Structure 1
């Protein structure tokens, strides 16, 4: 999918990136891919149709908004987060959502959240939606954060409006921002409706269950299908538009979490085993094989680099 933004990055001290994001987006904790940096990153602010927007490029390990951050800087916005390049796992409201290029997630700035990048370069667009405006228009539907289902036709319409807002004059942008609110309202109304597309409801529930239970080694596609009350074959058909199986989505999330934990702890070999089990793997040979295939190195290599302050993984 073609990227919406073009951001050039260069190696900068992590303190500079922290300050830039703090000034533009609010209080967050940023953990670099290697301790003490430097890391690659750039946060730039611009207006889109009267809405403050952040264009962010970074290759850090993770970004976290803690309760302490919220007390220091109360959230006055929802963030419409558009994953433009690379991947990110969003943890909010006891669920984990994998964002791929084109995916959108509405982040609730009043609730703790974490964004995991695995030290790999990612570009994101964050449209700051005033909280009072959102609550006044739509009620509490966004409280706690929510993903925008890219299989919903309104996803394409939202993306088209965002493209126009990025590249149009201010006067037209103000009209487009109202269109953006209108499309979000239509999307929220459909979610609330009892006549909403059953397929979208199943996918949304499936992704929530994966985010809640991926650490359980007994949780797999068959268990997921059983909890959803559908057959495994039906579940596989629901996931077909994503270009992956339910098992592949579950594996990707487990590997991402294992990589993050290995890269941020001082681990011995025995602890690598503990990490694998804690992230939902019951077969160590499968864990090592899948990990090496995804990251091009062993779990031990990642843990060793974390101990040594290792290199950024691109």
Structure 2
């Protein structure tokens, strides 16, 4: 399998490699193959069509995105991980997937994950996909991570578009990113048709309805159950395998959107109160408590960091 790209490596102190990954990919814990290093590796950023991507080479033992990392850097995105050289085992949501050259895996940055290299040199391309855009287009099928089956004919088409995105001029980036989304949509549609039973179909509808109506403060678990034509207790049982209630999932969706809006750069300063109401909260004290519990800081502190040039990674 011919690599999509190459990246040179130099002997690098593990602290430098960790910082490079932090700046480009977000918060991860990187364990060197040999205690104390040095470890070989390099990470750099590259535009790919309409997306940002990271090119990472390393011979570490493993890299992990822990709950502590997620609290420090929420990372409201998915990333398409392309194994370009070497091997890696991805652990996420209780499943383990071996990636060989050419394999692709969509990692959920909001869930803990671990990438094991066993000290062997690996080169990976990580295409950052905005979470709101992915959920809006495809629903919750990517939640918790999903492997792209290389036996599916669409795998080859996705790889071809990724290659084009790596080498395209800026003016063709938008068309290629739309082509990428189109292929992803076709792949997920086929995956749903093959795997969803009646329970899965109801959950898919439930998550889509949440995404559509979360800005309405009157929309809660009871309204969702009414939309779906099931009892509230039945709806709660459907959510039990996810380890959360419908109300908890809806709260996290609202908090995610509020954090994204408060963290947005380039525009005028956002009103915390307006943002809370716009994201479906009708109780400001509840919004402040829930926001601080999830992100470890107040909404106002997020706005201040953006205004003052703080390092909020989106």
TM-score (structure 1 length as normaliser): 0.62
Q: Does 1:51 align with 2:51?
A: yes
Secondary structure of 2:133 counterpart? helix
Residue equivalent to 2:175: 175
Secondary structure of 1:147 counterpart? strand
**How many positions carry a matched residue from both structures?**
196
2-structure distance, mates of 1:47, 1:195: 34
The alpha-carbon deviation at position 171 of structure 1 amounts to 1.1
Residue equivalent to 1:6: 6
> Counterparts in 2 of 1:29-178, with a 5 A limit?
29-178=29-178
1-structure distance, mates of 2:41, 2:59: 7
The alpha-carbon deviation at position 50 of structure 1 amounts to 1.9
Residue equivalent to 2:28: 28
| Contact 2:14/2:38 (8 A) holds in 1 | yes
2-structure distance, mates of 1:115, 1:39: 16
- Listed one character per residue, the Cα deviations across residues 120-162 of structure 1 (whole Å, up to 9, x for unaligned) are 0000000000000000100100000000000000000000000
Secondary structure of 1:193 counterpart? helix
The alpha-carbon deviation at position 173 of structure 1 amounts to 2.0
1-structure distance, mates of 2:67, 2:134: 22
- 1:22 to 1:148, Cα distance in 2 relative to 1, 3 A: same
TM-score (structure 2 length as normaliser): 0.62
2-structure distance, mates of 1:138, 1:2: 30
> Counterparts in 2 of 1:138-287, with a 5 A limit?
138-194=138-194
Provide runs of 4+ in structure 1 moved above 2 Å. none
Residue equivalent to 1:303: none
The alpha-carbon deviation at position 194 of structure 1 amounts to 4.2
2-structure distance, mates of 1:42, 1:81: 16
1-structure distance, mates of 2:47, 2:150: 25
- What runs of 5+ residues in structure 1 fail to find an aligned partner? 197-314
Let me know the Cα RMSD of the aligned residues: 1.1
- What runs of 5+ residues in structure 2 fail to find an aligned partner? 197-314
- Listed one character per residue, the Cα deviations across residues 58-81 of structure 1 (whole Å, up to 9, x for unaligned) are 000000000010011002110100
